[in-house]
Amino acid sequence: METVIGIDLGTTNSCVAVMENAAPVVIPNRGGYKTTPSMVAVTEAGKRLVGHIAKRQAITNAENTVYAAKRLIGRKWNSPQIKNALLTSSYHIAEGPHDDVRIVLRDKSYSVPEISSMILQEMKIIAEDYLGQPVTKAVVTVPAYFNDNQRQATKDAGTIAGLDVIRIINEPTAAALAYGLGKEIDRVIAVYDLGGGTFDISILELSTSGVFKVIATTGDTFLGGEDFDARIVDWLVHGFQQEHDIDLRQDRMALQRLRDAAEKAKCELSSVRETDINLPFIISTGRNEALHLQRTLTRETLEKLTQDLIERTIEICRDALGDARLEPKDLEDVILVGGMTRMPAIQKAVSEYFGRTPNKGVHPDEVVALGAAIQGHALVEDKNDMILLDVTPHALGIMTFGSHFEELIPQNTTVPTSRTKVFTTSRDNQTAVKILVMQGENDNAEKNELLGEFILTGLRRAPKGEVEIEVTFEINTDGIVSVFAKDLETGQAQSIQVTATSGLTQDEINNMIESAKDYLVERRTDEDFEAAKQEAESLIAEIERLFPEVEAVVGSSDFGQDALGKARTVLQHARAAIDAKGAAQIRQHVEGLARTQRMFKGVVSRAQ
C-alpha cells in the first residue's frame, strides 16, 4: 500500500503529515520546524528559494519574494480581491491571458498555481527526506469556501509539483477528522478556522459509526491573519504619515519590514499586553537623512483596530448555524483551527457566541495536515471504518435570460452529487447551444463566479425543439464541477467545448510539469553536491590543520617530503573538484583525502 501524505497548503505557512502506525504525525523540515512558510523567492542569480530561506531574505528581496499566493489562486484578474492585492503586495502582479493572473519575478512570468506548486514540491521533498522513499500521492487541503476555480487551480498546483492529488479536502473537515479520530463519539461540533488568509466555519456531525458528516459550511476566502496584519500596517503608516508626511507604502522594502513587524507584534500581543515596534532606518528622506519608526502597540489598540474583522467572523458563524438550522446550544464542542485563533479577543468572541469554552486540545497549526494524512490513508487502505461526507459550499447553477441565476444544486448539498437538465434548440437547424455555468449565492447571475461557457457543439440539423441533449452537472468529492452531455435520441456522448474558463490549459500544465521536474533534478543534484562538498571540506580542513605538525615530524626525510607532496596534490585536486562543482569527482577525491587524513593522524599520534 502506497504512502499518501497530507499537505496543509496554507496562506502563510504550510505543513505536511503522514500516517505512522495508525496515528498521523507531522513531518518536520530540515531545520526541524514543523511548519514551513508559504513563500517563494528568486534570487539575483536566478536561484529559487522556498520556505524559511525565502522568508529570511524577504526584506532585502521584497520585489521578488512571493507570499500569500493562496489569496490569488483561482481568481480572475478582474476581481476585487486582485485589485486589493495590487495595492498591498510588494511583488509584481500582472494580467495574464483570458482574465487570468500572473506573478512576475525577475522579468519572468509565473502563474499562481505554478508558485503554489513550488511550495507543494518543497513539502514533497520534506516528506521524501523523512520517509527515505519517493512520494507521489497526496491529499491537499483547501478552505471549505473555495470555489471550483480555486480548487481546480490548487489541484493543478499539485499536478505540476509531480503529485497525484488523490483528494482535495476542506480544511475544517480535515481538522474535525483529526479531532474525532478514534474518539467513538456522537457529537455535533463547529470548526472555527481562521488562518492566514481565509476564514471558514463548518458545522459537522460525528458519529460512532465512523461517519463525519458536514451539515453546513461557509466562510470568507479573503479574511484572515493577513488582514489583521494589514490593519496594524495601516496604523503604522498612518501614524508615520502624520508625523513625517511620508507614505511608507511607496517603498517596497519599508512595506515588507512593516508587514514583518506587524505580524510579529500581533503574535506577541497574544501573550503580552503591549509590545514595541522598532524599525530603525525605515526610510531615508531626500536630504540623506534616515528616519526611524518606533511605536508601542497595546493589545487594546489592536483589538479596536480589528474589532470589525472579528465581528464579521461571528456574523458568518451565524449564517452557518442558520444554514444548518441549529442554534449555538445544539453544538457540543467548538474547535479552533489556524494561528489567528490564538488571539485572546477571538477566543473571547467565540466563547461568547457559542456559549462554551472552545476546545483547545487540537494544535491549531498542525491539525489540518494531520486530518489530511488520515483521509489519505483511509482512502487507500481496505478497511472502511471512516467515511467523510462533505458538502459543496456554493450553489451551482446556470445563467438564464435576464441575468437570472437558476440554481441546479443548492449550497450545502452533500457531495458527490449531480443533476441533469435537458436542453433543446429554439431555432431550426441550430447547431450549438451555449450554457453558462456559475457558482454562487446571488440571484443576479453576474455577481456569481463564472466557471465556464460550455458550448454543446455539432448538434445535428433538425427543426427546432427536436434535438434534445441531456446535460449532467456533477460535483465530485473534491468539490470540483464536471459537465457531461448526451444526445437523448442517439444516446451518444455530446461534445462540449469549454471556453471562458480561467486557469491553465493542459499544455501549459504539461510544460510546467516538465520545468518542475527539471527543478527537482537540479535541486537533488545541488543537495548531493553540497553534501559531498561538506565532507571534502571538513577533511581538507583537518588535513591542513595537521599539516605543520606532520611536516615537523617527517619533513626531514625524503620519504616524508614525498608523502607531503602527495598530500598537497590530493588537496589541490580536491579543491579543483569543489570549484568545478562536480559532486561525483569530489567523491572520488574524498577517498584520497580520507586516507591522507588517517595517515596524518597516525603520524601525529605516534609522535606523541
Partner 1 sequence: MTAEPYRGLIYERTAADVRGLALEPAEIFVLSLVDGALDVDAIASTTGLDGARAAACLARLAELGVIRVAPIRPRPTRPVPAAPTTAPGADRPTAHATSQVTKRSPPGNAALTAVPTGRPPAVTVVPFDATTKPAPSIAPNNTQIPLSSDRAPVPVVTSPPPLSGEIDTSLDIGVELQARILDLSAKLSDLDHFQVLGVPMGADRTQIKRAYFSMIGTFHPDTYFGKQLGNFTKRMERIFQRLTEAHDVLSNPKSREEYESYLRVLGRTRAMEELADQPPPSVEDMEQLLLAAEQAAARKAPTPEPVAPAAPPPRPAKAPPAMPRAPSLRPVVEMVDDPVARRQALARKFGKLPPAPKPVPVQQNVSELAARQSAAVKDLHQRYKHRQESIKTQRVERFARAAEEALASGNTVSALNTLRIARTLSGGDIGTVERLGELEQKLGATVADTYLERARYEETNGHYEQAARSYSHAARSRPDPDVLRSAAECYLKAGVELRLAGELARDAVQLAPNRADLRLSLAKIYEAAGMQQSALRELERALELTPESDRIKQWLKRLKRGGV
H/E segment holding residue 238? helix 225-244
Contact 70, 474 (CB under 8 A): no
Out of 242, 401, 559, 605, name the contact with partner 1 by CB under 8 A: 401
319 is catalytic: no
Return the residue matching grid coordinates 483561482: 74
SS3 of 13, please? strand
Q: Give me the least distance between CB of 82 and partner 1, in Å please.
A: 29
Asked if 211 is part of the footprint of partner 1 (rule: CB under 8 A), the reply reads yes
422 or 531: whose CB is closer to partner 1?
422
Query: Which residues contact residue 478 at a Cβ distance below 8 angstroms, ignoring those fewer than 6 apart?
Result: 151, 155, 167, 168
Give the side-chain half-sphere CA count within 13 A for 240: 28
In the bound state with partner 1, the residue whose beta carbon lies nearer, of 434 and 461, is: 434
Give the C-alpha separation, 479 to 393, whole Å: 8
Q: What span, in angstroms and rounded, lies between the C-alpha atoms of 109 and 92? A: 10
Give the H/E segment covering residue 290. strand 290-298
438, three cell numbers: 456559475
Which of 109, 420, 499, 505 is the binder for partner 1 (CB under 8 A)?
A: 420
Q: How far is the CB of 392 from partner 1 (least distance, A)?
A: 12
Q: Binding partner 1 by CB under 8 A: which of 48, 187, 210, 533?
A: 210
CB of 180 to partner 1, least distance (A): 14
Measured from the CB atom, the residue of 133 and 426 that comes closer to partner 1 is: 426
Strand segments (E) across 106-238? 108-111, 137-142, 164-170, 187-194, 199-206, 211-220
Q: Minimum distance between the CB of residue 214 and partner 1, rounded to whole angstroms? A: 11
Beta bridge partner(s), residue 337: 193
Selected binder of partner 1 within 433, 437, 438, 540 (CB under 8 A): 433
344-354 and 299-324 helices, crossing angle to 10°: 30
**Contact between 136 and partner 1 (CB under 8 A)?**
no
Residue choice 21, 242, 288, 384 for contact with partner 1 (CB under 8 A): 384
Residue nearer to partner 1 on the CB measure, 91 or 423: 423
| 168 vs 273: CA distance, rounded Å | 40
Least spacing, CB of residue 163 vs partner 1, in Å = 16
Local structure of residue 414 (DSSP, 8 states): B
Contact flag: residue 217 with partner 1 (CB under 8 A): no
Residue 461 touching partner 1 (CB under 8 A): no
Q: Of 83 and 183, which CB lies nearer to partner 1 in the complex structure?
A: 183
User: Does the protein bind partner 1 through residue 127 (CB under 8 A)?
Assistant: no
Q: Residue 456 is placed in which grid cell?
A: 454543446
d(CA 302, CA 228): 9
Which residue among 147, 425, 448, 501 contacts partner 1 (CB under 8 A)? 425
* Sole window of 242-250, 271-279, 431-439, 447-455 interacting with partner 1 (rule: CB under 8 A): 431-439
Rounded to whole angstroms, the Cα distance separating 5 from 15 reads 10
Max alpha carbon distance in the chain (Å)? Answer: 109
C-alpha cell at 22: 495508525
User: What backbone torsions phi and psi does residue 2 show, to the nearest 5 degrees?
Assistant: -75, 150
Residue 488 lies near partner 1 (rule: CB under 8 A): yes
Nine-digit cell at 301?
489598540
- Determine, following the binding rule CB under 8 A, whether residue 424 of this chain makes contact with partner 1: yes
Which x/- pattern over 75-104 shows residues binding partner 1 (rule: CB under 8 A)? ------------------------------
The CA-to-CA distance between both ends of the chain, in Å, stands at 58
Residue of 171, 200, 227, 366 marked catalytic: 171
Does 551 qualify as catalytic in the annotation? Answer: no
The smaller minimum CB distance to partner 1, of residues 57 and 430, is found at 430
Q: In what order do the strands lie in the sheet with 48-50?
A: 48-50, 39-42, 65-67
Q: How far is the CB of 423 from partner 1 (least distance, A)?
A: 5
Residue 142's Cβ-count burial label (10 Å; 0-12, 13-18, 19+) is: buried
Q: How far is the CB of 500 from partner 1 (least distance, A)?
A: 16
Measured CA to CA, the distance from residue 132 to residue 58 in angstroms comes to 31
Catalytic residue among 193, 263, 333, 487: 193
Q: How far is the CB of 401 from partner 1 (least distance, A)?
A: 5
Is 171 catalytic? The answer is: yes
Stretch that binds partner 1, among 44-52, 285-293, 328-336, 418-426 (CB under 8 A): 418-426
Per-residue binding letters, 490-529, with partner 1 (x by CB under 8 A) = -x--------------------------------------
Contact with partner 1 (CB under 8 A) among 267, 314, 389, 594: 389
Nearest to partner 1 of 294, 472 (CB atom) = 472
**Phi and psi dihedrals of 465, rounded to 5?**
85, -10
- Mention every residue, 6+ apart, whose C-beta is less than 8 A from residue 32: none
For 51-76, the DSSP string reads THHHHHTTTTTGGGEEE-GGGTTT--
| Of 34-42, 156-164, 203-211, 338-346: span binding partner 1 (CB under 8 A) | 203-211
Q: Is the dihedral of CA 109, 111, 114, 118 positive or negative?
A: positive
- Sole binder of partner 1 in the list 57, 88, 207, 431 (CB under 8 A): 207
Cα 562 from chain centroid (whole Å)? 59
Contact range with partner 1 by CB under 8 A, out of 108-116, 332-340, 380-388, 594-602: 380-388
Residues between 155 and 194 that touch partner 1 (CB under 8 A) = 166
With respect to partner 1, which residue has the nearer C-beta, 297 or 467?
Answer: 467
Residues 269-328 within binding reach of partner 1 (CB under 8 A):
325
Rounded Cα distance, 459 and 499, in Å: 18
> Measured from the CB of residue 431, what is the shortest distance to partner 1 in angstroms?
12
Q: Which of 8, 100, 122, 365 is catalytic?
A: 8
Do residues 472 and 485 lie in contact, with contact meaning Cβ atoms separated by under 8 Å?
A: yes
Counting contacts by CB under 8 A, is residue 464 touching partner 1?
yes
Q: Which of 404, 460, 524, 568 binds partner 1 (CB under 8 A)?
A: 404
Q: Is 70 a catalytic residue?
A: yes
**Whether 567 contacts 596, CB under 8 Å:** yes
- Binding positions for partner 1, rule: CB under 8 A: 166, 207, 209-211, 325, 378-380, 384, 387-389, 398-402, 404, 406, 408, 414, 416-427, 430, 433-435, 464-465, 468, 470, 477, 488, 491
Q: Which residue numbers are catalytic? A: 8, 70, 171, 193
